[in-house]
């Protein structure tokens, strides 16, 4: 069955925009969808098909993401590598496979090499040069990655058979609020992507490409897949170009495979049982499985510090086959900065319900029908959304919850298992959640403990290490292998298992430490990356920063210069707490200030006085 698909991809940093049409053609010809099994196509045959007919019946839209200053970014200077005989042999072979004008393009290639030799800056020329000196521009598709981003985009708009047919109606070039130099900052990349995602629509049959893009984009998408419900229905894909025995065959075929979106929470797959949970945590897992058997629709609350596997256990119990379609997950922490988004994401909206609502949207309630709705960090929901959630839960009839999407008059119903989670203690939740709602979502409560420091951490680290799929020519070894092993690192063992070691991120901390250990092994031979004097423990401590303890309030905090208690300091702290509580209750600073009868400026000033 064919489906209309949307492809979202940051610019191809390594392979160039010439591969975009090949990917589109391959997905289109597979019926517009990528299954759990890979789809494969000889890229040269695909490109010949594109040249013959650029029609893609299953294409809905393409979104090609670029830094906002891409037009000013020069091409990376790789001319020495490009003009090597080995590289030129591959380039000529590529042109020969898809071009009817091989001799002409081969001569134009010689012109390009001569220009590079005579170019003082040793940089690839711009599109104007290509326009004047290269006869058949379509023959550049396989080497267009050598040129600047601006040249690639200009080339695509002038020479893509697909763009020629559909133009900007279906192929959009989006400039993110991000500069090219900021691509090295994963946090800035994530913020720019999040800002863009909040103002766009991600349909169910949307594919997010992770192939050929910068590492920062990949990290940002993995993070956002965990924190943003807008990406929940999308599918991550990667492309592979398996190397063949012969060099001239090494770029064919191209294979497109689905990628695991829940990488941060579940490593490579849902293997909770491998985490060697404590006896209490194993009991928690057993209870959750038993509740599933009961199928009585009572709400379940999971409590425990972040990183203890709450999300993973839910997936393990309710989606054991890892099909990723049985649990609708929403991380409520994302709504802190945009409370209005929560209502739309949970209950959906009708086209025209508010500015920017350009189409109907199914919310999490409707998407979770006959499935599981998992609300993580539920204490971050604002009070208005909590009230709507309570109303929906109170209207339960035969397991059906009743809710009304924004802009609609007729209520909708949906039956699902509701599971909520929080990293707060149960007695703390009353500070954040409406009393009636708290009663409704704590019908059943299961707890997860934080991992404990000491010698028992070794087994947990070994489990995490075994689940990591490290790739590359150098295969790292677990530094906690048996003591008679050459790879055993006693200093690391003593550091990791020390009873004072704190793992506030729990298993996520162990994942980070495992990655740093592998990086150290694979890079320590390069003095430019890691100094010879640096031990594994030194390297980890430089790059892994556990959270510092919160400052405890003591009498010394309130003493003035004369050693007397400062009433002003106490008052300032009390005011700041009231302000923060009002801000949380109201959802934003303006509403909080109105509630307290002060100006937003005064509210901000009071917050600054907190000790």
Per-residue pLDDT at 493 exceeds 80: yes
Window from 70-79, 212-221, 267-276 with minimum mean pLDDT = 267-276
Inter-CA distances, 367 with 3, 198, 312, 372, 412, Å: 19, 19, 20, 9, 12
For residue 353, pLDDT beyond 70: yes
pLDDT at 518 over 70: yes
Q: Distance between CA atoms of 335 and 86, rounded to whole angstroms?
A: 53
CB-based contact 170:62 (threshold 8 Å): yes
Q: In the predicted model, what is the mean pLDDT of residues 542-548?
A: 71
Residue 556 has pLDDT above 60, yes or no: no
Which of 112-126, 270-284, 409-423 has the highest average model confidence (pLDDT)? 409-423
Closest CA to 465 of 282, 274, 183, 179: 274
pLDDT score, position 381: 92
Stretch 565-570: mean pLDDT, rounded? Answer: 66
Q: In 417-528, which residue ranges form alpha helices assigned H by DSSP?
A: 435-441, 457-467, 490-496, 507-523
Report the distance separating Cα 163 and Cα 64, nearest Å: 12
Q: Is the pLDDT of residue 315 over 70?
A: yes
**The 417-422 sheet, strands edge to edge:** 327-331, 372-376, 417-422, 300-303, 444-447
pLDDT band at 278 (very low <50, low <70, confident <90, very high): low
Tell me how far apart the alpha carbons of residues 211 and 236 are, in angstroms, rounded to a whole number.
10
Burial 89-105 (b: 16+ CB within 10 A, else e): ebbebbbebbbeeeeeb
The pLDDT score that the predictor gives to residue 32 is 83
Quote the pLDDT of residue 177: 93
Which pLDDT tens digit goes with each residue over 413-446?
Answer: 999 999 999 988 888 899 899 999 999 999 999 9
d(CA 350, CA 365): 14
Backbone torsions φ then ψ of 155, nearest 5 degrees: -60, -45
pLDDT at residue 598 in the model = 87
Of all residues in the chain, what percent carry a pLDDT higher than 70?
A: 83
**CA-wise closest residue to 315 among 256, 363, 275:** 275
pLDDT tens across 320-351, in order? 777 777 899 999 988 877 777 898 899 998 88
By the 8 A CB rule, do 354 and 308 touch?
Answer: no
Average pLDDT over residues 232-249: 66
Residue 66, pLDDT score: 95
Residue 584: per-residue pLDDT: 64
What is the pLDDT, as a whole number, of residue 486? 66
Report the Cα 154 to chain-centroid distance in Å: 29
pLDDT in tens, 449-486: 767 667 668 877 887 787 777 777 777 888 887 655 66
Q: What is the pLDDT at residue 262? A: 62
Widest Cα–Cα separation across the chain:
91
Percent of the chain surpassing pLDDT 90? 19
CB 350 within 8 A of CB 405: yes
Query: How far is Cα 364 from Cα 332, in angstroms, rounded to an integer?
Result: 12
- Pairing of the two strands 206-209 and 235-240: parallel
Between 600 and 611, name the one with better pLDDT: 600
User: Where does residue 1 rank: exposed (0-12), middle (13-18), buried (19+ CB within 10 A)?
Assistant: exposed
- DSSP 8-state symbol, 118: H
Confidence of residue 247 (pLDDT cuts 50, 70, 90): very low
Specify whether the CB–CB gap between 95 and 139 falls below 8 A: yes
Give the residue-averaged pLDDT of 308-317.
80
Look at residue 131 and tell me whether its pLDDT is greater than 90: no
Q: What is the mean pLDDT of residues 542-553?
A: 60
* Residue 422: predicted pLDDT: 93
Query: How large is the average pLDDT for residues 228-235?
Result: 76
Question: Residue 182 pLDDT > 60, yes or no?
Answer: yes
Band (pLDDT 50/70/90 cuts) for residue 385 is: very high
Write out pLDDT tens, residues 146-166: 888 999 999 999 999 899 999
- Cα 533 to chain center, whole Å? 35
* Residue among 214, 179, 177 at smallest CA distance from 192: 177
pLDDT, position 97: 80
Place 562 in a pLDDT band, splitting at 50, 70 and 90.
low
CB 336 within 8 A of CB 379: no
* Predicted pLDDT of residue 172: 94
- Band of residue 364 on the pLDDT scale cut at 50, 70, 90: very high
Confidence at residue 433, expressed as pLDDT on a 0 to 100 scale = 93
Distance CA 477, CA 484 (A): 14
Give me the pLDDT at residue 395, please: 76
Query: What's the rounded Cα separation, in Å, for the pair 168 and 419?
Result: 43
Confidence check: pLDDT of 6 > 90: yes
End-to-end CA distance of the chain: 62
Mean pLDDT, rounded, for 124-151: 86
Q: Is 207 helix (H, G, I), strand (E, B) or coil?
A: strand
């Amino acid at each position: 069955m064919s489906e209309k698909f949307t492809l979202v991809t940051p610019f191809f940093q390594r392979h160039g925009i010439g591969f975009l049409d090949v990917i589109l053609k391959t997905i289109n010809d597979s019926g517009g969808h990528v299954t759990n099994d890979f789809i494969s196509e000889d890229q040269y045959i695909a490109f010949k098909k594109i040249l013959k007919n650029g029609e893609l019946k299953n294409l809905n839209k393409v979104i090609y993401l670029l830094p906002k200053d891409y037009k000013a970014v020069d091409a990376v200077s790789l001319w020495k590598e490009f003009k090597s005989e080995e590289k030129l042999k591959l380039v000529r072979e590529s042109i020969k496979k898809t071009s009817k004008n091989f001799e002409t393009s081969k001569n134009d290639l010689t012109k390009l090499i001569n220009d590079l030799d005579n170019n003082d800056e040793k940089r690839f020329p711009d599109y104007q040069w290509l326009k004047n000196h290269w006869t058949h521009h379509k023959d550049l598709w396989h080497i267009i990655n050598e040129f600047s981003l601006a040249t690639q985009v200009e080339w695509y708009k002038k020479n893509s058979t697909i763009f020629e047919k559909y133009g900007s109606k279906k192929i959009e070039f989006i400039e993110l609020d991000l500069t090219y130099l900021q691509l090295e900052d994963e946090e800035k990349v994530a913020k720019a992507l999040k800002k863009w995602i909040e103002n766009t629509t991600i349909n169910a049959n949307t594919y997010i490409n992770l192939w050929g893009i910068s590492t920062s984009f990949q990290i940002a998408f993995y993070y956002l897949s965990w924190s943003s419900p807008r990406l929940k229905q999308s599918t991550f894909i990667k492309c592979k170009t398996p190397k063949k025995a012969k060099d001239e065959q090494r770029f064919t075929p191209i294979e497109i495979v689905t990628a695991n979106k829940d990488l941060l929470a579940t490593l490579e797959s849902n293997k909770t049982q491998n985490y060697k949970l404590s006896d209490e945590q194993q009991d928690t897992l057993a209870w959750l499985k038993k509740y599933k058997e009961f199928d009585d629709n009572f709400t379940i609350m999971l409590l425990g510090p972040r990183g203890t596997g709450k999300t993973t256990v839910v997936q393990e119990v309710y989606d054991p086959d890892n099909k990723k379609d049985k649990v609708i997950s929403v991380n409520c922490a994302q709504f802190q900065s945009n409370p209005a988004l929560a209502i739309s994401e949970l209950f959906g909206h009708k086209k025209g319900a508010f500015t920017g609502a350009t189409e109907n949207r199914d919310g999490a309630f409707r998407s979770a029908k006959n499935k599981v709705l998992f609300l993580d960090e539920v204490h971050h929901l604002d009070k208005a959304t909590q009230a709507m959630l309570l109303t929906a839960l109170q209207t339960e009839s035969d397991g059906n919850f009743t809710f009304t999407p924004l802009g609609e008059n007729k209520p909708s119903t949906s039956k699902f298992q509701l599971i909520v989670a929080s990293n707060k203690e149960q007695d703390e939740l009353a500070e954040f959640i409406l009393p009636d709602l708290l009663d409704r979502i704590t019908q059943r409560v299961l707890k997860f403990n934080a991992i404990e420091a000491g010698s028992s951490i070794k087994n947990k680290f070994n489990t995490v290490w075994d689940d990591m799929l490290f790739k590359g020519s150098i295969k790292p070894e677990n530094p906690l292998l048996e003591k008679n092993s050459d790879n055993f690192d006693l200093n690391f063992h003593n550091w990791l298992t020390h009873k004072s070691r704190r793992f506030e991120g729990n298993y996520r901390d162990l994942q980070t430490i495992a990655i740093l250990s592998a990086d150290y092994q694979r890079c320590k031979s390069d003095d430019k990356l890691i100094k010879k004097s640096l031990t594994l423990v030194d390297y980890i401590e430089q790059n892994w920063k556990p959270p510092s303890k919160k400052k405890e309030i003591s009498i010394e905090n309130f003493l003035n210069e004369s050693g007397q208690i400062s009433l002003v300091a106490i008052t300032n702290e009390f005011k700041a707490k009231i302000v923060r509580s009002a801000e949380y209750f109201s959802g934003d600073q303006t509403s909080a200030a109105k509630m307290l009868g002060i100006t937003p400026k005064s509210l901000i000033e009071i917050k600054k006085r907190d000790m």
